[in-house]
Amino acid sequence: MPPSDAPSLDPAETRFAVLPADDRLRAELHNEVHARPPARIRLPALVVYVAVLNDGISREAELAHLRKLPGQGGLTLAQLSGNFLRLRFADHTLKWERHTEFTRYSIVQGLPDGALQGQDEAELIRQLTVDVAWLAATPGRTVAAIMMAMVDGEVDDPEAMRRQADAWFEGRVTLASWLGIRRSCVMTDFRLRDSGFERLLVISPPGTTEPRAGRISQRLLELETYRLMALRGLPVAKELGPMLAAAESGLADITAGLENAEATDQALLGQLIALAAGVERATATHMYRFSATQAYYGLVQQRIEQLSEAAIPGTQMVGEFLQRRLSPAMATVQATAQRLTSLSQRIERASALLRTRVDIATEAQNQMLLEKLTRGQELQLRLQSTVEGLSIAAIAYYVVSLILYAGKAAKGAGLHVNPEVLAGALIPVVLLAIAWATQRIHKKLHHDAAAAAAGMARPPH
């Protein structure tokens, strides 16, 4: 127990008093779990859902669009900072959510009378609680648009559910699944209407809670959105196919050129650089889309698993249909991404081979250059030896000439000296002396050079 005179902590200040300072991201990361609370939907209801790509669309533009709604002129940018906003109106709610690549708008309203009795689609759109002109002016490009009717009914009678769905799907063949151990049923035909919307029908037993209906709605809408976003990588993969085939053929030609000794390194290097630049540009441009496709596909699989589907006799399940249709497309995208990565690696290996070839050629050229330098040095040494021999003879000539003049001078001074005999007798002595002096100079130079080389080779202390 703390002493009775210990200061009491204000509850509002307790966290600051007993904990270190918060990391700058703590509150944001902690509140992420509450960032997108599920909707609460009272049956029967109509959910109008539109997802638009927000590339180049600023948050300010979306704020300006939301301000056009009745009574929302006072919205601020701070209210959109959490990427989620729910607006409540008298007869509907609107939810705005901004994601990395798309923004989605969900409107939940009461189900119009006659919606499930074959009502004309134009009449159904006129009964939307949100202004159609406002919906058409939504900034961005539509990637998904869904009208989902959510009603209560008997989910244990497949025939009754099919009759209930006939008018909503205009008699088309539908896919259907029980969700959550026959607690609800979902039906769809994956068809786009003239209005641009596709339709879903969810039938839940009477007494289904609003949170459960909201969770079902959220999972189904996310499933369709992520499916379409995952498929955005398929056109890119198909577009890259011819380019990859041409690049692989070009790389094969370059590799064959490496085997051919007649192909010049400069030509091969130019071709390889052009090929590598094209592949790297394609990688930088499209690899994000391939990675995003895999991420969205993972979310699709997760949402299908969360639906906990069960088969309705005589009808294909929604998740099974999506898996069968999505798997080939995702395999194509994955194979294209792997081809692009593999091609980049093969180009790198070809570059290494070309560098090796260039290095070998450079070493051969350096060897030839060294041999030429060695032969030049040998010739220079021979020339130097010849010049030294001539130099000895020349020096001896001048020395003997000096001796001759000295003898003549001594004879002129009265000494009995024969200058010619003296000069001739000293020629061998002069030659030996000059040769000895030259040899001493060579030894001195060799000794100094050896000492300098030893000093350079000695490791530093």
Residue 173, in any domain of the structure: yes
CA dist., res. 228 & res. 447, Å (int):
85
What φ, ψ does residue 202 adopt, rounded to 5°?
A: -120, 125
Phi, psi for residue 314 in degrees, rounded to 5: 85, 5
Number of domains, the chain: 3
Boundaries of domain holding 217:
34-224
Residues 82 and 158 in one domain: yes
314 and 348 share one domain: yes
Query: Are 183 and 276 found together in one domain?
Result: no
Contacts of 350 (CB under 8 A, 6+ apart): 251, 254, 255, 258, 272
- Whether residues 180 and 259 share a domain: the answer is no
Give the pLDDT of residue 431: 77
CA distance 306 to 294: 18
Is the same domain home to 60 and 182?
yes
The gap from C-alpha 436 to its chain's centroid, in whole angstroms, comes to: 78
In a domain, 201, yes or no: yes
Do residues 170 and 47 share a domain?
yes
Residues 347 and 435 in one domain: no
Phi and psi at residue 154, to the nearest 5°: -85, 115
Same domain, yes or no, for 181 and 66?
Answer: yes
Q: Which pLDDT belongs to residue 456? A: 59
**Residue 345 is assigned to a structural domain of this protein:** yes
Helix (H, G, I), strand (E, B) or coil at 148: strand
| pLDDT by residue, tens only, the chain of 461 residues | 444 444 444 444 445 568 888 888 887 777 777 666 778 899 999 999 999 999 999 999 999 999 999 999 999 999 888 888 999 999 899 999 999 999 999 999 999 888 888 778 888 899 999 999 999 999 999 999 999 999 988 888 888 888 888 888 888 878 999 998 767 899 999 999 888 999 999 999 988 899 999 999 999 999 999 999 999 999 999 999 898 888 888 888 877 777 776 667 677 777 778 888 888 888 888 889 999 999 999 999 999 998 888 988 888 899 999 999 999 999 999 999 998 888 888 878 877 777 777 777 777 777 888 878 878 777 777 777 666 666 777 777 778 788 777 878 877 777 777 877 777 777 888 778 877 877 777 777 777 766 776 665 566 55
Residue type at position 30: H
Of 224, 249, 283, at which residue does a domain stop?
224
- Counting runs of H as helices and runs of E as strands, what totals does the chain give? 11, 9
Residue that terminates a domain, selected from 201, 224, 247: 224
Structural domain includes residue 113 = yes
Dist. CA 419–CA 405, nearest whole Å: 7
185/242 same-domain check: no
Residues 245 and 300 in one domain: yes
CB count in 10 Å sphere of residue 13:
9
Burial (0-12, 13-18, 19+ Cβ within 10 Å), 204: buried
| 29: in domain | no
Which class for 346: exposed (0-12), middle (13-18), buried (19 or more C-beta within 10 A)? Answer: middle
Retrieve residue 65's tokens. Answer: 């669009």
Task: List, in sequence order, every residue forming a beta bridge with 107; answer none if it has no partner.
Answer: 48, 94
Do 56 and 110 lie in one domain? The reply is yes
Q: 3-class SS at 96?
A: strand
- Helix (H), strand (E) at residue 439: helix 419-457
Both 207 and 238 in one domain: the answer is no
Residue 460 lies in a domain: no
Q: Which two tokens stand for residue 75?
A: 């919205």
Q: 45 — phi, psi (to 5°)?
A: -145, 160
3-state secondary structure of 5: coil
Q: Does any domain span residue 272?
A: yes
The verdict on residue 22 lying in a domain is no
Domain boundary among 197, 224, 251: 224
Report in angstroms the alpha-carbon separations of 28 from 34, 35, 76, 104, 322: 10, 9, 19, 22, 35
* Residue 97, C-beta contacts closer than 8 angstroms, at least 6 positions apart: 36, 83, 84, 103, 104, 106
Q: Which residues pair with residue 92 across a beta bridge?
A: 109
